[in-house]
A = this chain, B = another copy of it.
């Protein structure tokens, strides 16, 4: 918070948490003291809380109150490092789904070879399933996010599959492909066809659409790969006197690399499809990570992002009901 406040004069905070804990911390920081309002709570939702229990018993917790403050307009966006499941469940109850959305999605910025340095991937875990109509709405919402988050005017959309040929994959993916292709104009994106796991990093697309089960596994597999390579690189550099000298010379190069793929700098899964902006920061995020999540929430709130998405999806949903969102739309 302090990092964000220093970098950004326009930002204000409503901090939901135990006053006794946070008041002394805030008062000690001049950058925060005069623009942070602390709202006292007497309970928190623990990291391993089941979403269903958080829904029943979470009322009055810091998470609940933070989302309520977005609902009532006191805050323009909520940032939380708490349990993803609980945060999503309470967000859906308090903020409700945007018109035309049946399933929310969590979108992340994913390191890529594109000039922006990142691609957008969704859903990475809001729900374990998504049908063809959901995937279409993910494409529309994700494209809006790519426009705001990556500054790409007409994002190129890929649908994640096990091969790039049209006949590949599950039936609902072929159905979704037809829907997404038909909604290119409406959604302001270009549909590039099926993509594979390795294409998530590629310059072929800006946005990768998938269900929350597959997206979550892909995200955690990528994190696991990066972590294994990091460990093995460290071991390799510690291996001998000679390689230790190499490490010394390589230090700045490697730290530049680390900065580029630092998960903290893109910390923040954005909840899409709600009537309000919610950013989920990693549970183990440090100051740099939380600051990145706050910045993201600030940028999105300022741009009227949630309202823009809602309008797009609503028109997409109408088109879908009229049969105009499908493959037929292309022939019109």
A217 to B212, CA, bound (A): 13
Within 8 A of B (CB), among A214-237: 214, 216-229, 231-233, 235-237
Q: Tell which of B197, B214, B232 touches A224, judged by Cβ atoms closer than 8 Å.
A: B197
Contact between B252 and A242, CB atoms less than 8 A apart: yes
Q: Which of A188-212 contact B (CB under 8 A)?
A: 196-202, 210, 212
Binding-face segment, A23-31, A56-64, A256-264, A317-325: A256-264
Instruction: Given A242-B249, A246-B251, A249-B242, check contact A201 B228 (CB 8 Å).
Output: yes
Q: A128-B162, A253-B239 are in contact. Are A229 and B226 (CB under 8 A)?
A: yes
- Main SS class of interface, A: helix
- A contact residues, total (Cβ < 8 Å): 63
A306 is an interface residue with CB less than 8 A from chain B: no
Q: Does any Cβ of B come within 8 Å of A50's Cβ?
A: yes
In the assembled complex, the CB of A72 is this many whole angstroms from the nearest CB of chain B, namely: 32
CB of A247 within 8 Å of the partner chain: yes
Beyond A128-B162, A214-B214, A249-B249, is A220–B236 a contact (Cβ under 8 Å)?
no
A–B Cβ pairs within 8 angstroms, 7 of them = A113-B228, A196-B216, A197-B222, A213-B214, A214-B214, A232-B260, A235-B257
